[in-house]
């Protein structure tokens, strides 16, 4: 199995904490030896994304495509596809990539693109999920790993983690608690996909 190349390309826009959890899991759980899988590249739409420096320190290839340099969302996504396709990805992993992707991009990677969202989907798609959960009086919040489709924050649910909403929680304290669980379930979901890829 170790001769097979299953390339994973991770897209980030910021600190890349989920990306780091995935890179660490790949190393510790020996994805290369077990599945022939490797983190082939980390790509960001922001040159100053702190996660890029961390990825480079781990020996992972990195690339930057500044979305502001493109005249349209379609033009940016077309260039992003060219960059990603250099690595012939088995999986494209969105890890805090703060761009809404065009239907053409999603179709190009249909069945191979996954995302993590900080709510228990189908509840609270979009932004400000933690504050919305608190405002609605939810007793539980969480995170969801799902396949990406044309519809924002929809697609097959692959993994979920449930976190209690505590009395006195703020959006920030709840987000921090949810994030610790994201770091657990995202690598686990990817590993399950690699077993069948």
Positions annotated as catalytic residues are 117
Half-sphere exposure of 97 (CA within 13 A, CB side): 28
Our CA angle for 38, 39, 40, nearest 5°, is 95
113-117/37-44 β-pairing: unpaired
CA distance 84 to 93: 11
Contact (CB, 8 A) for 124 and 132: yes
Q: Where are the beta strands (DSSP E) in the chain?
A: 6-12, 37-44, 61-64, 89-94, 113-117, 140-147, 157-164
CA distance 40 to 19: 12
Sequence-separated contacts (24+) of 60-67 with Cβ below 8 Å: 60/23, 61/87, 67/99
């Amino acid at each position: 199995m170790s001769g097979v190349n299953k390339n994973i390309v991770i897209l980030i826009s910021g600190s890349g904490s989920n990306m780091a959890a995935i890179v660490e899991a790949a190393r510790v759980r020996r994805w290369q030896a077990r599945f022939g899988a490797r983190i082939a590249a980390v790509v960001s739409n922001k040159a100053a994304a702190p996660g890029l420096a961390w990825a480079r320190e781990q020996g992972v290839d990195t690339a930057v495509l500044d979305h502001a340099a493109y005249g349209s969302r379609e033009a940016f996504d077309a260039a992003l596809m060219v960059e990603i396709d250099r690595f012939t990805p088995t999986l494209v992993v969105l890890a805090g990539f703060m761009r809404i992707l065009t239907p053409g991009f999603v179709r190009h990677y249909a069945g191979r693109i996954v995302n993590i969202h900080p709510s228990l989907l189908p509840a609270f798609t979009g932004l400000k999920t933690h504050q919305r959960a608190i405002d609605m009086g939810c007793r539980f919040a969480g995170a969801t790993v799902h396949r990406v489709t044309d519809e924002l924050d929809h697609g097959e649910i692959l993994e979920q983690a449930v976190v209690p909403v505590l009395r006195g929680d703020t959006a920030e304290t709840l987000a921090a608690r949810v994030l610790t669980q994201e770091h657990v379930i995202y690598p686990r979901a990817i590993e399950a996909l690699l077993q069948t890829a």
